[in-house]
Each structure stands twice: as C-alpha cells, then as structure tokens.
Chain A
Amino acid sequence: MDSGLPHRPARVSIQTEDFDLAAEVRALHARDPGVGAVVSFVGTVRGHHGGQPDAITAMELEHYPGMTERAIEAMIATALQRFELRAARVIHRVGVLRPGEQIVLVAVAAAHRGMAFQGCEFLMDYLKTQAPFWKKETTPGGARWVDARVADDAALARWGIRLDNATGCTP
C-alpha cells in the first residue's frame, strides 16, 4: 500500500548476500541532478593477513543486530552533515566469506569530488572502529579472531575523533 510519503531508499544493509556495485552507485544518484561526484569503496577478503604465514581459507563476520545498524545510521548522519553529502549507502556482509569476495561497500554522492572523497574515507574510517562487527579468519592451522588495529584508530583521529578501540574500553 502506498503510504503517501516520499520513498527513502535504505542507507544501511547488513546481509549475507553479495551486492552489485554498479547498481548501488546508479541508485545512489538517480533522480538527483545536484550530484556531481560519486565515490565508492569496496572492501574484499584478503587471502593473507599481514604478518601471518598461512593462507586464509575463509572469513566469518558477526555483528550485533540492531546496534550495528543504528551505529552506521548515526555515522551516515554525521557524514552527510560534515561533508555536505547528498546521499550515502553502506552495505556490510556477514556470515562466511571466501578470499576475493566483497565484504563492505561505502558509497557517497556529493556536488563536488573533494567532499565525496573525504566523506567516503571518513565513513570507512568510522566503520572500522565504531561499528560492531567482528571477523574470524580460518586457516589450515585453525581459526583466529582478528585483532583491532591501532592504525585504524589513528586513521579516525585524522578527522578529529579520538578513541581507543584497539587498546581501551572507553567510548
């Protein structure tokens, strides 16, 4: 039934299914002639983890249903305002993935490229350190949880946001 309200495409999806980058980018700026730039980032599963000698055969991703979606929505709201974005889309896959598969999509639309590049990188930096996702790698030698990286906290600090995801417990 038509609610009479304007259609608002989903901005956040947490899903096991793969996604179509081209379709998502098209949808992001459809019917908005004010968009002059679209920037997208796709993260994929690596076959090796830095410093680890054994190959990764699978990556399992878990999330905190409800909180994860809310956290990403809040990130998007911040990015829309801070970088004057016209639209943003985040898709994060969960479940068991294989090397080479797509894990995450961050795509943003803006009037000009500068804000689009910054907005996309900001969202990705925020996602790495604030969204409740956890990764477990499976190798021939067994499974291991992936540790948070201090470098990801440092990346977020470039935007003036300091936290200790990798080392502490204070939000």
Chain B
Amino acid sequence: VRCALNQSLAAEADAVVEGAEVAFFPPVTGG
C-alpha cells in the first residue's frame, strides 16, 4: 500500500494535519 497526503506521495511516518486529504492505494500500474 502506498500513501498520499494532499495528493503527494507520503511516508507512513508523515504527520496528518486537520483537513488533509489522505489516500491509500495499491502499487501503480500505468503506462
């Protein structure tokens, strides 16, 4: 699982502030 904060890739240890957009998604497979 990968993590994104406010539409930027993030590390698991990154802090989440109130109102942030948080996303978890599987490995990407585009192209």
Residues of A that sit less than 8 Å from B by CB: 43, 61, 63-64, 66-67, 70-71, 92, 103-104, 124, 127-135, 145-149, 165-166, 169-171
With A64-B7, A171-B2 known as contacts, the answer to whether A92 contacts B26 (CB < 8 A) is no
1/0 contact string of B1-31 vs chain A (CB within 8 Å): 1111001111110000000000101111111
Question: Could you tell me the distance in whole angstroms from the C-beta of B27 to the nearest C-beta in chain A?
Answer: 3
With A64-B23, A169-B1, A169-B3 known as contacts, the answer to whether A134 contacts B28 (CB < 8 A) is yes
CB within 8 Å: A-B pair count:
73
A131 interface neighbour in B1, B4, B11, B28, Cβ under 8 Å: B28
Cβ-defined contact, A166 with B11, below 8 A: no
B4 nearest CB neighbor, chain A only: A67
CA distance in complex: A16, B21 (Å): 26
With A67-B8, A170-B11, A171-B11 known as contacts, the answer to whether A165 contacts B28 (CB < 8 A) is yes
Q: What A residues does B29 contact at CB under 8 A?
A: 128, 133-135, 145-149
Q: What A residues does B3 contact at CB under 8 A?
A: 169, 171
CA distance in complex: A165, B27 (Å): 5
With A67-B23, A132-B25 known as contacts, the answer to whether A61 contacts B30 (CB < 8 A) is yes
Cβ-defined contact, A169 with B28, below 8 A: no
Cβ-defined contact, A170 with B26, below 8 A: no
Question: Could you tell me the distance in whole angstroms from the C-beta of A92 to the nearest C-beta in chain B?
Answer: 6
CA distance in complex: A134, B28 (Å): 6
Q: What A residues does B28 contact at CB under 8 A?
A: 128-134, 148, 165
With A64-B7, A67-B23 known as contacts, the answer to whether A135 contacts B12 (CB < 8 A) is no
CA distance in complex: A70, B31 (Å): 16
List 24 A–B pairs whose Cβ atoms lie within 8 Å, in order of A's numbering: A67-B4, A67-B8, A92-B30, A103-B31, A104-B30, A124-B31, A129-B28, A131-B31, A132-B25, A133-B29, A133-B30, A133-B31, A134-B25, A145-B26, A145-B29, A147-B29, A148-B27, A166-B27, A169-B1, A169-B12, A170-B12, A171-B2, A171-B3, A171-B11
